[in-house]
Structure 1
């Protein structure tokens, strides 16, 4: 008796009319200036979103927005607020800076353990109306990447592992198409008109509260801002949870604040006062500006 062959079933992707139309448009736009938008259309057809868009990430400049689709009624903050400073604490942006490969990255897989209860999330992220996101990142080089961000809002269901699988299934096709597109089109990726904001953000990260806190306290402060719990901060800094909590208490006392909300607000408020050409603490400049003149 002939032995039966055992074939492994393939995970299917539903090529409905919307997906087929999006792929057809993709090939038609190959080599044109609208090709990145066609890529976004394919991604949104494969994995529906409430809002989405395209950013360019730079290592030495602030992110540049190329496309943003969202419902303004669902947002409590201006659309461009991300590029004024909050991007510096974004887990997706920090992943890019770490040198991650081209790929699809789900926020819940890369965010710090306390991200969803962090003040960054509560004060900024949630007010955009976004509850969950997946970024499809395509590297142009070590210092630049196209980022197709996909978001679900607080009134929708979150993304699922199946959504991530579907996106990763089409990513090799899109990556090959993007490579071919840039061979044909050879566009110059635009740079922001000025990068003073990025320099101020980096300066604030480097020197915020340096006049008041010890180096170790500043290490703890940066982890707190990014949404790390005391336990995970302790793990990162190779110390104990109790020691981190003591540092945290000292940070609040020295900065005369009582919550993480005040810490986040203070950090963001100091960015415009940073002087990239100096090693000065932007907090001091911010406080001097607020102090009444005698």
Structure 2
């Protein structure tokens, strides 16, 4: 039996389609299934920077991190990679999409480039996200987050959220044309991976080294990089050594800091 609260939430989301209250209406619907601390929604494309559909965390975190994210840190986000690589529509836990060493990588904990991390809000304990494929190789991601001190989304909560997928997906597809129209007058900002990493590291690295660098920063181990690129783990380690030497650094932390310094200039 449909509750009055759910009925009101769905009606509110329909009414908010195409206006500035859409994100709040999305949150009202998903709060029916599970509580969360922050939320956000982006449309991702492989050749343009993300378009913000809903910013549900800037009231509690520094907006400079969001600017850094939009300038290029999104390229390290597992939800971005999932969206541009054609992951199926549905609700996903970030940990099921993330590379094998993602949670050892600095992006997952960096307050400078990860808009969900701050001294005030704390480190995330979990992020789950709805992935909604759109037209022309784009996809939307609507994420819900719980902060440190909270609990993971349990199986029952995850299942309750997942049942909302058809409603959320249909709604985002209805809302997306309004966002496209509002972006039509904005200057195009091509921010694909090759361009961003080229701007950060310039001609210091070979094309093969650029590919390895991207995967290092995204949180892949040497073994995972080898599997992605079809080379041996030993070759990856040699590339890593040469990357550090060419950039005048000695660790992955310094590599990540070089990336951050470019984004927060």
Give the structure-2-normalised TM-score: 0.79
Q: Distance in 2 between matches of 1:18 and 1:219?
A: 49
Q: How far is the alpha carbon of 1:78 from its aligned partner?
A: 3.6
**Counterpart position of 1:283:** none
Q: Does residue 110 of the first structure (1) align with residue 100 of the second (2)?
A: no
Residue among 235, 244, 256 paired with 1:243 = 235
Q: Distance in 2 between matches of 1:176 and 1:270?
A: 38
**Counterpart position of 1:285:** none
Residue among 103, 107, 132 paired with 2:126 = 132
Residue among 106, 110, 119 paired with 1:119 = 106
Kept in 1: contact 2:72–2:191 (CA 8 A) = no
Distance 1:80-1:217 versus aligned 2 partners, 3 A rule: closer
Secondary structure of 1:156's counterpart equals: coil
**Counterpart position of 2:253:** 261
**Counterpart position of 1:194:** 187
**Counterpart position of 1:219:** 211
Give the structure-1-normalised TM-score: 0.72
Kept in 2: contact 1:30–1:177 (CA 8 A) = no
Q: Distance in 1 between matches of 2:28 and 2:70?
A: 23
Q: How far is the alpha carbon of 1:237 from its aligned partner?
A: 2.3
Residue among 222, 227, 236 paired with 1:230 = 222
Residue among 22, 27, 43 paired with 2:9 = 22
- Deviation per CA, 1:220-254: give whole Å up to 9, x if none: 21110110011211222233323322221221122
Structure 2: give runs of 5+ residues left out of the alignment: none
Distance 1:31-1:251 versus aligned 2 partners, 3 A rule: closer
Query: In angstroms, what is the RMSD of aligned CA positions?
Result: 3.3
> How many residues get paired?
255
Q: How far is the alpha carbon of 1:109 from its aligned partner?
A: 0.6
Q: Distance in 2 between matches of 1:206 and 1:81?
A: 16
